[in-house]
Amino acid sequence: MALSRRLLPLFLRRGAGARAHLSTAAAAAPAASASEEEDEQSVIVKGVRISGRPLYMDMQATTPVDPRVLDAMLPFYLSRYGNPHSRTHLYGWESDAAVEAARARVAALVGADPREIFFTSGATECNNIAVKGVMRFYRDRRRHVVTTQTEHKCVLDSCRYLQQEGFEVTYLPVRGDGLVDLAQLEDAIRPDTGLVSVMAVNNEIGVVQPLEEIGRICKEKGVPFHTDAAQALGKIPIDVNRMGIGLMSLSGHKIYGPKGVGALYLRRRPRIRVEPQMSGGGQERGIRSGTVPTPLVVGFGAACEIAAQEMDYDHRRVSALQQRLLDGIRAQVDEVVINGSMEHRYPGNLNLSFAYVEGESLLMGLKEVAVSSGSACTSASLEPSYVLRALGVEEDMAHTSIRFGMGRFTTEEEVDRAIELTVHQVKKLRDMSPLYEMAKAGIDLKSIEWSQH
């Protein structure tokens, strides 16, 4: 009962409406005084106390665990806690069966054979195995990689690591809408190219790359095609055979599953080989040694099963929320730019730049809304987003970008509140901006020669 009392507030609204949903024992607990409840619900952020936790609109960084996923996981923490690699007793057998059932659920969501799914700790590990593993295995014949400038940092860093080992890498530019130029990609492939790696859905701007066309080019050239699909899984339809995907990186916590688990899809026919990046007991058929975490894997499988059932509904609902957010902001604020293609985009990711507003100042002002200015994996950097710079976005506009992430549990009320707070903060910052005042007066800011003191 204590467990349920701690977990339920994560999914239920505060106040009397939420209290009505609590268990009988919880409802019978003494009611806290108004002042005590207010202090308990208030949160201090950056030295400022706000009433309650912020609205969560950062779904590309991570998603909340779906309660149905948690229900599937709990037995494997509390009673069915066997090591799935234990072959001599019931505890190991039932855990192994649960892992294989989850493997089948993940495979079904992407049209794969369960034997092609290998569990890992997450998409970063998958990307390292895919990029480094393929090139090291075929190092005698393949010395060249093709990727794009807008890939996730772990793919780019893996490619730079390979360069230090003597491999060559081509970093393709993208068009202004964030999409790769297919003709450039085809021209970049050489006889010694060992891998083409292109992200399915970009984590910063939500752009969906033409996977089927890229897969066709790679198949014609005889080159394995790897895609980082962490942001795509469960959000857009994926069929590894139709899209010609040879390797694919997946993550659990981007689809309302647990953190700490992911999966690598590795094609069996024609077989693609990788050099393992970790030595150990040979689990996951030697591709990824280490004890498979049964509860996490079960949660990942449950999240994939739910996504398969609800993808169409989630997509329609998130599309409506995206349009509501965009229309609400644009109706009250001018000089708002959408970063990335709107036609080829996952609607749960809306990346906007607000001219004449510094992005970090806007983020600081939006303490009641949990949003970001780019990838959580590179948020420590004060440099403008390398993804936006690759799109040709000017540095000042790249600094003003905010990424709004919506998902399964986002409500219309939360979107409306986000609109209200964003509009208020943008107007407040622009009122203090001499640049905005000059632009409204018709002065061409680019023609001004600024002096340095």
Instruction: List own/partner pairs for 22-30 with CB under 8 A and 24 or more apart.
Output: 25/1, 26/1
- Is residue 398 packed enough to be buried (19+ CB in 10 Å), middle (13-18) or exposed (0-12)? buried
Written as one letter, the residue type at 307 is A
Active site residue 218: no
DSSP track, 293-324: -HHHHHHHHHHHHHHHHHHHHHHHHHHHHHHH
Count the neighbouring beta carbons within 10 Å of the beta carbon of residue 250.
Answer: 29
* Maximum alpha-carbon separation in the chain: 80
Determine whether 49 is exposed, middle or buried from the number of CB atoms within 10 Å of its CB (0-12, 13-18, 19+).
Answer: exposed
**Interatomic CA distance for residues 247 and 267, integer angstroms:** 6
Residues in Cβ contact with 266 at an 8 Å cutoff, skipping those fewer than 6 apart: 116, 118, 246, 247, 272, 274, 287
CA distances from 273 to 130, 154, 246, 309, 403 (A): 9, 20, 10, 32, 37
Strand partners, 262: 120, 251
Q: Which residues are catalytic?
A: 377
